[in-house]
């Protein structure tokens, strides 16, 4: 067994800034090796990150857009060809968009990126996850889902209205947590555990990037929200903390929380699996 296989390896999507970047720093400090699946580059002036890249402790795979199936397929194929194992998969990519928009595949952008793409990544990386020691999957969810009043597959894919944060973003995060719950028994057959985790309120605002948050939330975020290290710690604890032996649960504030619309969990799982089989796999 070579040195790379002896160490614990985590893959993080959306890791070039905010919570994802702080999670990389946390994992590197704990002697993890880290695989990053990113759209953008890491800061060149970040000496710790650049040193980890040079030493091979941080390995980067690029995609033009996670919601672009051709680009995503190429990146995932490269990961599978070069990486032998993944101990923890952190499906972390994706923020909130400022207005209603649609993916190349014709689905609402939040739903595509926050609900469907994490499922595709999980399915495509199943074999290296099985070869890992920890066999853990963490999906970054959100407490915003508590504002969801109406929930159907049709509204997820093509919403009739748009509201920042508590609209498609919230329902898509809820859908992510629902399929996480529904798939847990299936993954248990291979000793894989999966959880969705709310990283809490974090100030992830970036200069020059249009926010998908309501104005009031933006102001409150600047004044009162924790730095992204808070969210990174929540995801880390979600993977390796006291609930590490549980699967299918949604963790909020470090506790198992009840999900709304649990009767729709199987429907969401079947729908994202159908998209994976009928649309993504044809790109191979």
Q: 58 forms bridges with which residues in the sheet?
A: 34
Domain tally, the chain: 1
Q: Rounded distance, CA 119 to CA 197, Å?
A: 15
- How remote is the C-alpha of 10 from its chain's centroid? 13
The most distant pair of C-alpha atoms in the chain lies apart, rounded to whole Å, by 54
Cα Rg, the chain, nearest whole Å: 18
Structure confidence at residue 272 (pLDDT)? 98
pLDDT of residue 17: 86
pLDDT for res 2: 41
What are the pLDDT digits (tens) for 120-169? 999 999 999 999 999 999 999 999 999 999 999 999 999 999 988 889 99
pLDDT at 157: 96
**Residue 269, domain extent:** 3-283
**pLDDT at 262 (0 to 100):** 97
pLDDT for residue 219: 56
pLDDT in tens, 220-274: 556 556 678 889 999 999 999 999 999 999 999 999 999 999 999 999 999 999 9
**The residue to which tokens 């290290």 are assigned:** 229
CATH classification of the domain holding 81: 3.40.50.720
Query: With bands split at pLDDT 50, 70 and 90, how would you rate the model's confidence at 95?
Result: confident
Task: Specify whether the CB–CB gap between 249 and 181 falls below 8 A.
Answer: yes
Distances (CA, A) of 57 to 2, 30, 31, 51: 14, 12, 9, 9
* Model confidence pLDDT, tens digit, residues 167-205: 999 999 999 999 999 999 999 999 999 999 999 876 555
Q: Is the pLDDT of residue 66 over 70?
A: yes
């Amino acid at each position: 067994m070579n040195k790379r296989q002896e160490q614990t390896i985590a893959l993080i999507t959306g890791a070039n800034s905010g919570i994802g970047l702080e999670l990389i720093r946390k994992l590197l400090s704990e002697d993890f090796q880290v695989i990053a699946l990113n759209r953008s580059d890491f800061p060149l002036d970040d000496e710790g990150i650049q040193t980890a890249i040079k030493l091979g402790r941080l390995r980067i795979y690029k995609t033009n857009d996670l919601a672009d199936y051709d680009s995503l397929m190429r990146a995932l194929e490269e990961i599978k060809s070069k990486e032998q194992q993944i101990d923890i998969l952190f499906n972390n990519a994706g923020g909130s968009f400022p207005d209603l928009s649609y993916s190349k595949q014709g689905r609402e952008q939040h739903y595509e990126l926050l609900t469907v793409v994490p499922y595709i990544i999980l399915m495509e990386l199943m074999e290296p996850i099985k070869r890992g020691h920890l066999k853990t999957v963490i999906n970054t969810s959100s407490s915003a889902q508590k504002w969801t009043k109406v929930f159907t597959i049709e509204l997820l894919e093509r919403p009739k209205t748009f509201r920042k944060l508590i609209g498609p973003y919230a329902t898509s995060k809820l859908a992510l947590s629902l399929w996480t719950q529904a798939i847990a028994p299936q993954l248990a057959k291979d000793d894989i555990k999966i959880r969705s985790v709310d990283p809490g309120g974090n100030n992830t605002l970036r200069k020059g990037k249009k926010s998908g948050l309501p104005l009031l939330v933006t102001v409150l975020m600047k004044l009162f929200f924790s730095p992204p290290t808070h969210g990174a710690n929540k995801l880390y604890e979600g993977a390796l903390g006291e609930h590490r032996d549980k699967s299918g649960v949604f963790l909020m504030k470090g506790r198992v929380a009840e999900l709304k619309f649990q009767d729709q969990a199987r429907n969401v799982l079947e729908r994202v699996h159908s998209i994976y089989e009928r649309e993504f796999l044809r790109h191979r």
